[in-house]
Every structure is written in structure tokens, then in C-alpha cells.
Structure 1
Amino acid sequence: MPEEPLRRATATERTTAGPTARPTARPTAQPTPDAKALLLVTAAAQHNDPDAPGASVALVLRAVDAAALAPDTLEAAERAGLVYADAEHLFLGPPLTAAAVYGAAPLLARQAAHRLLAALLDTGHDRLAHLLHLASATSEPNPDLARELAAAARGGTSADARRAVGLRRAAALAPDVSTRAALLAEAAEHAHRVGRTDWARRWTAQARALPADAVARGTAARVHGLIALHDGPVADAHQSFLLAARLLARNSRTLAIRCRLDAAEAAWALGDPAAFRDAVEPLADEPFPGPADAVAYGVGMRAILQADAPGFATGSAILRDVVARAERADDVDQLLRSGAAALVVGDLAAAGRLNGRALAVARVAGPGTAVPRILEHLAYAELRSGRHMQARAHAEEGVRAARQAGQRNLIAHHHAILALVASLDDDATTVRGHADAVEAIAAAHGLRQPSTLTSWALARADLARGRPNEAAAHLAPLLRTGSEQAHFALRMLTVPCFVEAAALSGTPEPARRHLAEFAIWAHLEVDPQAPAQLARCQALLAAADGSAPSEIEAGYATALARHAQPDNGFERARTLLSYGRWLRRSRRPAQARDLLREAQVTFDRHGARVWSSHAAAELRATGAPPTSAEPSGDLGELTPQQLRIARSVADGATNREIATRLSVSIRTVDHHLRNVFATLGVRSRVELARLVDRAEA
């Protein structure tokens, strides 16, 4: 039977067919002129869309027809290994890349390919793509095309890197330098928003080198500040934001407010409360129209940072209202501000909810610069709440996301959280590794917050390993009056660790002055754990002084009562261990046993193995065998996606519901769930739900 003649598949047939195999060997034959034209059209089709997985098969087939190439050009190129395809996209075969093919073609050939593609695209369906190809086919300034392209790039709300490319191309077409500078600054802003930090950095520098009006200069200053805030010296970021606020105030008060809040965020990272107050001061002193929650956040934070009781009362009331108003919000910036406000006023549950919602909103919007920052806020809220495994999962994801986005400052913030989590587990090498990763960035960029957190983590690791002298030495410099080493918002959080280290090392005297200051902090009710920690510290110092047993017992009893509302299991276990240790050494082993058993079980559930071993050793010293905690896997061993699935199972969701919630297939959920079961050593959804409930209690 004679072989059927080869024919070129129609666009419909091609787009409904399965994928062709990716070539495994390099093409050997030189491509024909028609094949070269096909390769150039394929490369040009992707040139303006940096996120495109490949060229549209349908568009390339139409281009082959329009260019009157040989009917079998595409099939011949596939057989030669020059291209391969799936149902929707055409790809260049290795070692060819779109950038290499495009760059090797003559300018006139590239422009001809873009003109061809522009003519084929439906301007109503994808006007931006049509205009981008027209712009790529143009070498001379074209003000009309620049205006059309900029308008199309500004349209819509998607986080699409093509919009940044469109604004950049519009800038190249603009005939006057002031318009070019304005479009470059706008392109840089959009590039930063979609996570293209390298573009944003380059285009901002180009915009700042051109004469421009106040809006363009303000926009460029703001983008420079955003880049420095996440990947540079935060003092530079602070000054850039203040400059941007001044330049933008006349044309956009709303954007000026945002710049002032960004300047305040940079001041927070610096650990400079005065700079924070100065940045937001105009929000309180002027009738400053703008987003109500943004103004209220700035005014409330300024009042809090006055560092007196009336200021705390006024600021707390304002910030609690900010939190309440955000409960149904879907704007990432508002949710982040409100989550930060919740942390400041000690509403840790709200902080977790709001930052969790911000993460969900940001993921739906697509890749961008916000996700690493949201993960940092969420992980820190979980850390403060005693949910250490969840904090570790989100911080590990945050390191990866920040590294991908080129945000070294956020890498440092996430490593600081990971250092604190690791300090629970007697892994001094891991803690030191995270601390070194932080300091490599923090010292150069002026990041006082992660630097303070790592000093605290090193102290906690020393305390967990029975080295109270070394723990106290880490923290003493942070607690000195006027110390520039400690972050102003974290200093009080380290006091309980210092008091315990000082008491256990037999030198309690330095701790008394700091505990008196901590007592004032605890009574402000902005840290839900502080009242219980205060009572525990008072009991520790009373024991170190040899006070009456009744006074010591009363202190521990008060601490345990205060731990109940709200309950942070890990901190309660620390109190149980301290109380049980004192009872055993006071020759009251029977009373110590129940406390030590509960402490050991709780430490096991939190993955704090070193603290569990301390409780077990104390329990053995009472004459009782250590408690064998109910077998439980470590949720921290799960990937972030596995952890989300495990939590959904604990909530009672079916695999189909989980797939819908996470926008994945049911098969993907099944695969992850099998790995979750294997990792945690559970055999059923019921066991998994119980384990998650225990770990997150």
C-alpha cells in the first residue's frame, strides 16, 4: 500500500493533539530558510512575554500560512529536532533558546517577524500583545504608539510582566525625555510589583538619570526605596521613601501616605522609633485625606511609640479598630498593616488570620514581591503564638520565595525565625548556621530586628543546653539602657529568658532591674504571654533569694493560672518544668511528678526535644519513669503544601474539597497525602487530624 503523503496539520488538529516528544539529541542538519523563518517567528512570539512557557501553536501556524512558508515546514522542523510541541505551545529544541535565536537574527528580519505577528493578532482580544509587536517592529520614536501602548499596559489588574515590558517599550518610543523618564519610573514600579527586581533596579536608575517632573522623580524614588527595603540598606530605603512622599504629595496624597508608611517600615527594620514617629507624624497633624485604615494605622503606631501609658492606651484603641475593620478585607497592603497592628496589640489570633488571608490573596494575584514579606509576618505571628512547626514551615518557604525574588533582607528575617525555632531542639549547629546567614546580611544593611532575634535564639539554645552563663552573656548587651544593639520592639520579649539564665547561673542581681521594667510592659497588656512570664520570673528570683516556699509556690501558681488565657503550650510547659524542678529540689517529688509529666508531653508535641529531655531527666530524678508521649510525627518535616493539606484534612475536608481550595488536581492531593502519612507515621485521616490538633493546640 503506498504511503499517505505528508500534510501539515490544521491549527485545530494541532491544538487538540497530544504533546510531541522533547528532542533528546541535538539537531544535526542545518535548518532550511523556511525552518529558520519558523524558528524566528517562534522566538519573536515569546519575546514580549517573559512568562510565556512557549509560543502559541495556533499563532505560529497562522504565521506559517501568512508568510507562505512550505506546507511541511513545521513537521520537518519537528522531525529534525528543531522544535517540539504540546497541545498549546511550541518550544525550541535544545540547545536552541528563544533569546539566542532572536538575538542572532538580523534587525530587519526581527522587525518583519513582529509586523507579521502584530497583523495576525486580534486587537480586541489581546490589544497589549498586538501593540507590543508593533513596538518591537519600530526603531524610531512614535508618540502615538507610545500613548496607545502605555494605555494598554495600564489596563487590567493582573500581575502580568508584559505590562512592565509594555511601559518600558512605550518609554523607548516616547519622543521627549520627561515622558520617557515618567514611563521608565512607572515600568520600574510595575516590574517590582511582579517580582522582576532586576528590571526595576535597572529602569529606576535610567529614570533617575533623566530630567523629569515631580511625579516621575517621586515614583522612581519610591521604587528605589522598595528595592532597598527588601534588598539593600534600609536607611537608604527610609530616606528614599521620605523623598518620594514629598514629591508625590501634591499629585497623589494617597500615594504619599503609602510612602510615609513605607518609610516607617524601613525605620522599624532599622530599630529607630524616633524615625518611625517622624515618618508618620504628618498623618496625625494634618487633615490628610487618604485610605482610612492607612491613616489610622500610622496615627495609632505613633501613639504607641510615645512609650507612655496614655500613648499606649490611645494607640492600642486605634489599632484594635484597624484590626476589626480588616476582618473582611481583601487588599494585601491593608491586611499586612492590620496583621502588624494585631501583633503590636497582642491579638495573636487575629495576626494569624489576617496574614493568612493576605497570603491567600497574594497567591491568587500571581507571582510578585509580596509573598516573602507576608510569609515573614505569618511565621512571626505563629512563633509568638507558640506554633513553632507552622512557623518553621512558612519561614522555610519564605527563604525560598525571597531568594527567588532577590530579596536578601527578607532572607535574613526568615533565617532569624528559623534560628528561634531551631533553638528549641538542641541543635546548636543549626542555630549558629541561621545566625550566620542573618548577620551576613543584617550587618551590611542595618537590619536590627533579625539581628536581635538571632541573639535571642543563641541565648535560648544555650539555656536549653544547660549553659545559663553563656545565655545571659548573649542577652545582657541587648538589655542595657540605651543599647543600640537591641530592637526597641523586641527588647522586652528577651527579658524572661535573661531572668531565667541569671537565676540559674547564680547571679540574679542583674535581672531584677530588667524585671521591674518588664512588669510595666506586662501590665500594658500588649503581650498576652507577659503576665504569666512575669509571675514565673518572680518565682525564679524568689527561689534564688531563698524566699519562703509559700511565696515561691504562689508565684508559680499565678503563672499557671495566667497561662490559661490565652494558652501558649510551650510557655506553659516551661513554667511546669521550672516549678517541677523547684519542687523536686525542695524534696517534694510526688508533687513534682505530674507537673513534669505534663511538661514532657507538651514539649514532645511542640518538637522541643531538648526541653523534653530536661523534663524526662527531672522526672527520673523523682524516682518515676519518664512518660512516653503519644507517638506523634513532626509537622515541621512536611513541605508547606503538605502542611496545608494536613491542616485541611484536620478541618474535615475531602480530597476533592482540598483540591478545589488549593487549585490543584485530586491526584496531586492523593500523592501529597500519601507522603504526609509516610512522613508522620500515621495510618488514617483520623490519626492525622489528631496529630495536627495536638501539634497546633
Structure 2
Amino acid sequence: MSGRALVQFDKAWWGRSTWRDNWPVEHSSFLLGLPSGYAAEWEQLKTSDASVGRMHRTQGVCQVIHCTAADAPPALADLGRQYDLCFALGIVLTDPHTQQGVHLTLFRSADHTPFSPLDKRLIEWLMPHLIAAEQASYLRTLTTLRETQGAYDETAMAVSDRYGVLLSMEPAFASMLASEWPDRPSNRLPRQCNPQAGYSSHNLHITSKPVGDLVLLTARRRSSLELLSTRELQVARGFAVGQTYKEVARNIGMSPCTVRHHLRKIYNKLGVTRKAQIAQLLHLTDG
């Protein structure tokens, strides 16, 4: 049974935020029946909204709000009238996984009755289950993507918000982060990794793809072969199939002396000392 079947409402706002300087900083928003700019409009007025502080101080307890009451702050009342938001029921809970405040506000228009004490109790009971359901939906998304890409794909995926808070991740993603940053916070990306731009080092490559207010992250370990230039890779492939210095030089169109110079650089970049080791690395990469 959906929350809408339990408690009737016209519009809704679900989001995640962190508490900073006594006010919430919105990380992600999901709106139902409201325009995409509503959250930004409210953001300009949030210091007038006393219900925000009450919800964060008494987490898990619903606040019943009359948006257009005579004693409501004028700007907030105007916002309510603009979007036909007369009555509201709001609640905040901290997600133990991300340590973010997760908020839900349900709205009713002026031609409906105010929210009842029963509505309030039902949402208080339902809220922890909604947070768990959201987490499960992220896991299902990752599972579906994994099935699409193949179980043996060498990438690992995660979902974060635009601030880098990790909402869900595959175990391999956590392992890759731990290898690169052993002391990183467990619930967010390291500061060196921009969730909207990705990350690339000698060992790790992370790409990002916006999905609404969230970000899909895909990580993979970089092969040491990626450190080679195009010419160096040509030389490496020649030696890997057993060619001599002269054969490699003739096939590529360079002098044997230049081939030797490239080979020294290849050894240094790959951390190997023998041509057979180059062949092994190429065999592993090419499958």
C-alpha cells in the first residue's frame, strides 16, 4: 500500500540535507506536483520558516503546518498561495547510513481538510520504512545496471548526491576507494574526487553521469598499460609476440636505438624488467 493511499495529499517534497550554521543545506530534492524551481524559491525564504528548526530538533515527529495562516510569514504565505499549498505535514529523520537529514513534506490545497492526528501518526510510523525503501531502490538500480553490463565487468558502481555523499555502492567500489584513500570517510567521496567531474589517477578512474539530482559513479582500476604512449604500446606489442629489436624497428619505422630507448621507458612505467613480463601484462589486458 502506498503512502498516498494511507494519507491523502496533493503535492509532496522529499529531500536530503545537511545541517550547517543552524540551517539545512539541500543536497537533493524530489518534487511531486510542484515545479522544479519550488525548492530554490523556498531556499530564499527558509530563514523565515520556523517549522524547519522544529522538525530538526524533534526528529521523527511530524509538524502540522498551516501554510497560509494569518500569522504565517507573509513571503511564505504568498509562496503557499502561489502553489495552492494550504496545509502541510512535515517530518525529518537522520539516515544512519549517510548521516543526512531526510525530510518529507506533504501538502493539501485549500479545498481539503487539514491533516489529522491520525495522519500525523501514520507518517511518523511510515517514515523509517520510506528511507529504507529509498535505499533499496538505489541497490535495485545498481543491480539492474550490473546485469546490463555483465556480471564480470571490471567496473564498480555507486550512487551519490552532487555533494559526494554516497547513497549506495557496490562492495568493489568501496574496495577501490579504500585502496586509493585508506583514511577516507566511509559515507562520502574523498575531497579529491569531484562527484560531478569524476577522478583519474595512475591507479583509478572514476566517471560520473548526472541522474536528476543524483550522480551515477562508475569506477575501474587503471591498467599500467594505459601509462604507455601510442609508440611505446606498439613497441611493447612487438616484443610481446617475440619480435627482435630489428623486427620491431622495421615494422614501426624507427631505428633500433630508438626502440631500445622506448623499451627502457616501458620497463620503468610498467615496473617490469623482462620482455616476458610485458607479454604477460598484454595477455591479461587483451583477455
Question: How does the TM-score come out when normalised to structure 1?
Answer: 0.16
Higher helix proportion (structure 1 or 2): 1
Question: How does the TM-score come out when normalised to structure 2?
Answer: 0.33
Higher strand proportion (structure 1 or 2): 2
